[in-house]
């Protein structure tokens, strides 16, 4: 059972029809018959029940930023799982929705407007280390400031102790 195997629309429809006929038993039995994972069959059946045979057709995989934002917000508003959301919007793989969700929460909704395939991916990766460098510089500056503050307080404390000592001697 190959994880990355692509199946034709006709094959998917045949598998769904075999499952729905009930002749072969449940998902696991049909999966054994065709040598595929039963979760794939569950997904195909759900797509078929929602959209008919069209739901089993592969889509292009290119989505607008507005669509991605809408999908993520719809999923959270309606408390849907990744798989339910992918089925609802006829997105072939729930991992696509998971990736959009990660981007939405880590980088903000506007980041979903960016094209991240091809040349753009290299540019995005190049800009991330700069952010990390900026963060490191900020942290180093804060550490330096805290060290200076600490030294100042130590000197102040030493002066106060010295003054108290000299006042005791006078008495």
Find the mean pLDDT for residues 136-154.
82
- Give me the pLDDT at residue 131, please: 63
Q: What is the pLDDT of residues 149-167, one digit of tens each?
A: 888 888 888 999 988 888 8
- Give me the pLDDT at residue 72, please: 93
DSSP 23: T
Query: Is this model's pTM higher than 0.85 or not?
Result: no
Q: What is the pLDDT of residues 117-136, one digit of tens each?
A: 655 444 455 555 556 667 77
- Give me the pLDDT at residue 37, please: 92
Nearest by Cα to 85 from 46, 59, 49, 57: 46
Q: What is the pLDDT of residues 53-103, one digit of tens each?
A: 777 776 656 788 888 999 999 999 999 998 888 878 878 778 889 999 999
Q: For residue 133, give the H/E element and its range.
A: helix 119-170
Residue that has been written with the tokens 């030294």 in this structure: 151
Q: What distances in angstroms separate CA 150 from CA 20, 142, 143, 146, 157, one per listed residue?
A: 73, 12, 10, 6, 10
């Amino acid at each position: 059972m190959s994880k990355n195997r692509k199946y034709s629309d006709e094959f998917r429809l045949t598998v769904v029809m075999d499952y729905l006929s009930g002749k072969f038993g449940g998902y696991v039995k049909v999966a054994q018959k065709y040598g595929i994972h039963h979760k794939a069959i569950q997904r195909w059946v759900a797509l078929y029940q929602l959209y008919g045979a069209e739901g089993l057709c592969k889509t292009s995989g290119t989505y607008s930023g507005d669509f991605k934002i809408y999908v993520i917000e719809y999923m959270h508003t309606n408390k849907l799982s990744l798989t339910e959301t992918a089925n609802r919007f006829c997105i072939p793989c729930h991992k696509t929705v998971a990736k959009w969700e990660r981007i939405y929460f880590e980088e903000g909704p506007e980041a979903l407007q960016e094209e991240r395939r091809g040349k753009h991916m290299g540019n995005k990766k190049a800009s991330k280390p700069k952010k990390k460098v900026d963060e490191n510089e900020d942290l180093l500056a804060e550490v330096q400031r805290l060290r200076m503050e600490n030294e100042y307080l130590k000197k102040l404390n030493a002066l106060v102790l010295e003054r108290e000592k000299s006042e005791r001697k006078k008495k």
